[in-house]
Amino acid sequence: MWLFPLKRKSDVFETFKQFVTMAERQFSTKLKTVQTDWGGEFRNLSSFFAQIGIIHRLSCPHTSEQNGIVERRHRHVVETGLTLLAQSHVPQRFWHYAFETAVYLINRMPSRANSTISPFEHVFKRKPDYSFLRVFGCLCFPHLRSYNSNKMDFRSTPCTFLGYDTSHHGYRCFDHSSDRLYIARHVRFHETTFPFSPTPTSPSSSSPPSDTYISSYPTDSLPIPNHHLTTPPTTEPPVHTYSRKSTTHHQPAFDRYKQPPPQSNPSTSQQPPTVPSPPPQSPPKNPTPTQTPHIPTPPEPSPHTNPSPPPQSHPNTSQQPPPEPSQHSNPSPSQPTNQPQNQPPPLPPQQQNYPQNQPPSDEIQPNPILPTRQRPAHLRPNPKQTNPYNPSSYHTAVPSSTIEPTNFTNANKDPHWRQAMLDEYSALIRNGTWSLVPPVPNTNVVDCKWVYKLKRDQHGAIKRYKARLVAKGFHQQPGIDYTETFSPVVKSTTIRVVLSLAVTNHWHLRQLDVQNAFLHGDLKETVYLKQPPGFTDPHYPNHVCLLHKSLYGLKQAPRAWFERLSFALAALGFTGSKTDPSLFIYSSHGTLLYMLVYVDDIILTGNNNQAISHVVQRLSQSFAIQDMGSLSYFLGIEVVRQGSDTKLNLVLIKCMAHVGLSQFQITYMATQTFY
């Protein structure tokens, strides 16, 4: 796609003649047909088209849809250009630079219409150089030594990056102080600082600048490489410039970048304060294990022991009393230990700055409250993981088996979580989720991790230990291993309306749970995944998983699962609601059924219990359905059946714990109902 900013409509004739000559020469082809909307700027081209044999096709008056392709491209360019201007706060008088940059980026973005390759690669048969890309409108410093008349002049000046100049293969750098546009090859960028922003970020707080040296050779890989390690060329071409008059009084904040930062006095910075602050009570971090243990599929592995870190010496060790032992738990040798038993807590930062041969000031008084060694973070009780119906459990020790581990190393020490991982891995293998293949060069391989969750009932008791393999979807690249995403969630209004209808009409509420719901979705894109932690194939340790089914964490996983479920429900006669895509309705011959879908949780109700049982049976043939029976708890709403009556209770236990009311006793009192 080419873009030619024009000042007048009369310039279309000469510009189009030049474009035809360039296209025929560069691509060895002839332009045969041109379609326009018969605007005034195109009428002068009729004689030119007739002279060289080009067919001029016209769209009907006031029928822009006949030019749908160019209208869509025009919208794409305009929206992308306005986004660049808005993000960088560049004034609209520079709109043509933003739109040219938008076209430059669009030509280099992978497109699904071109088999996930960019238009640039489709036309020129080589991959574009993505290391050349920079943030539009950011602060930049071009190398301007050749413009200096005096050796004492600065070799650069703060400018604003306004895109790429394809004719010179360089960057456009606008100097607002002189109203001049430089086209430079050697530029330093501050890509988090925008000079036209009302409150620009200080260079000291932003990311370090990047040295950019333009290479005329294309890269071999599509992912963006590290442009900070490229080698500068030995020669420097002349810098071309031209100037433009300013048409606005908007002044960017350049002055703060021209002033050097104040120098700090070394003697002042090392002077200790009079009274130090008390030592922080932050919990120590867990030691990092040296290696990840392996879980073979048939046998059960032995627990892994984390090595303890070596003791740290401190000059004031003799002045600190030994820490008090923990009163909550006594870790066994197999459990990780964060600090040695006789190691004192770290000193405050103020005391650490003193030299070893200089004691603190006499004005410093000893702190009567000595910090004690705290329990590791994964062994401390978490109010979110305790029984919400027992307020006293928030202040007592919690067994390790009732705590959700945060990493594979800790989970591997508990037999419950080991079995949960084995069950999940076996389900993935039975479902044919992937196949091991050798790694393909220059392809994106998505990482994965284990996530652990305790499944509890309405009383807070543990029902099941759930381990789930989750892909790190943030490693995916748009247009490469995913294109479209969609994650529907049932609306709270829909839930209340359907449950109210069921209670009013005395309908039976049936609850279903789809086991490994996302694994039922079929992938349309090619996605490679690293082997799960602890389940690396000993015969093919370097192979990767070629996914055939969707997996939790993938960008397109919710959409793939929803498409599969919608197709199965449509075969049973259900239709999706127009107001809520997560509501499916069946209405035929006096039978009315409503189905609520919340990811893998399904609520089914209606006026025909036999039809409900038939639907559950049919769904069980396509998916791994767990029939939970009558609905008892769903998204914070407790359903209580008393004879022929059904009552809905809003459970506020988690809300009470969030606002700090969990220590109070719960008292049930009768309330008057009106239904």
pLDDT at 480 over 50: yes
pLDDT at 125 over 60: yes
Per-residue CA distances from 626 to 425, 455, 510, 602, 621 (Å) = 19, 14, 11, 10, 12
pLDDT at 634 over 50: yes
Which tens digit of pLDDT belongs to each residue from 518-536? 877 888 888 999 999 989 8
Residue 366 is classified by DSSP as P
More confident residue, 572 or 307: 572
What value does the mean pLDDT take over residues 627-654?
62
Distance (Å, whole) CA 618 – CA 569: 10
Please give the pLDDT value at position 203: 44
Please give the pLDDT value at position 647: 53
Q: In sequence order, what E strands does 245-325 have?
A: none
As for how many domains the chain has, the answer is: 2
Q: Is there a domain that residue 565 lies in?
A: yes
pLDDT at 415 over 80: yes
Distance (Å, whole) CA 173 – CA 315: 55
Q: Among 197, 222, 257, give the residue marking a domain's end.
A: 257
Sign of CA pseudo-dihedral 286, 289, 295, 301: negative
- Cβ distance 390 to 459 under 8 Å? no
What value does the mean pLDDT take over residues 492-506?
85
pLDDT at 670 over 70: no
Least confident of 14-28, 353-367, 648-662: 353-367
Which among 470, 471, 472, 468 has a CA at the least distance from the CA of 422?
A: 468
What's the chain's average pLDDT? 72
Q: Is there a domain that residue 237 lies in?
A: yes
Distance (Å, whole) CA 633 – CA 399: 26
CA contacts within 13 A on the Cβ side of 137: 23
Residue 54 is classified by DSSP as -
Distance (Å, whole) CA 223 – CA 225: 6
Task: Count helices and strands (H / E) in the chain.
Answer: 14, 24
pLDDT at 295 over 80: no
CA torsion 656-659-660-666 (nearest 10°) is -20
Distance (Å, whole) CA 169 – CA 214: 8
Q: Six-digit token pair at 529?
A: 């995944």
Which tens digit of pLDDT belongs to each residue from 432-457? 889 999 998 888 899 999 999 888 87
Share of the chain above pLDDT 70, in %: 63
Distance (Å, whole) CA 636 – CA 403: 22
Q: Which domain holds residue 479?
A: 408-659
What value does the mean pLDDT take over residues 463-482?
85
What value does the mean pLDDT take over residues 408-434?
89
pLDDT at 584 over 90: yes
Distance (Å, whole) CA 408 – CA 452: 9
Q: Six-digit token pair at 144?
A: 């301007």
pLDDT band at 275 (very low <50, low <70, confident <90, very high): very low
Distance (Å, whole) CA 134 – CA 212: 10
- Cβ distance 220 to 279 under 8 Å? no
Phi first, then psi, for residue 180 (nearest 5°) are -130, 145
Per-residue CA distances from 640 to 337, 630, 634, 644 (Å) = 46, 10, 12, 11
- Cβ distance 147 to 239 under 8 Å? yes
Rounded to a whole number of angstroms, the CA Rg of the chain reads 34
What value does the mean pLDDT take over residues 370-398?
46
Q: Is there a domain that residue 215 lies in?
A: yes
pLDDT band at 382 (very low <50, low <70, confident <90, very high): low
Q: Among 257, 283, 316, give the residue marking a domain's end.
A: 257
Q: Is there a domain that residue 284 lies in?
A: no
Which among 591, 571, 595 has a CA at the least distance from the CA of 582?
A: 595
Q: Among 205, 230, 257, give the residue marking a domain's end.
A: 257
Q: Six-digit token pair at 635?
A: 């998204």
Q: Where are the alpha helices (DSSP H) in 107-250?
A: 119-124
What value does the mean pLDDT take over residues 278-300?
42
Query: For 614-673, what is the HEC assignment?
Result: HHHHHHHHHCCEEEEEECCEECCEEEEEECCEEEEEECCHHHHHHHCCCCCCCCCCCCCC
Sign of CA pseudo-dihedral 511, 514, 515, 517: negative
Least confident of 177-186, 367-376, 624-633: 367-376
Please give the pLDDT value at position 59: 86
Residues 6+ apart with CB under 8 A from 405: 378, 411, 414, 417, 452
- Cβ distance 544 to 426 under 8 Å? no
Q: Is there a domain that residue 550 lies in?
A: yes
What value does the mean pLDDT take over residues 269-273?
44
Please give the pLDDT value at position 194: 92
Which among 550, 549, 556, 531 has a CA at the least distance from the CA of 438?
A: 531
Amino acid at site 280: P
pLDDT at 653 over 70: no
Which tens digit of pLDDT belongs to each residue from 164-202? 988 888 999 999 888 889 998 899 999 999 999 887 554
pLDDT at 378 over 70: no
- Cβ distance 282 to 331 under 8 Å? no
Q: Give the sheet arrangement for strand 633-634, strand by strand.
A: 633-634, 637-642, 645-650
Q: Is there a domain that residue 15 lies in?
A: no
Please give the pLDDT value at position 98: 92
Please give the pLDDT value at position 161: 94
pTM of the model: 0.39
Q: Is there a domain that residue 553 lies in?
A: yes
Helix 45-52, helix 12-27: angle, nearest 10: 30
Indicate the SS3 state at residue 102. Answer: helix
More confident residue, 650 or 191: 191
Q: Is there a domain that residue 443 lies in?
A: yes
Please give the pLDDT value at position 179: 86
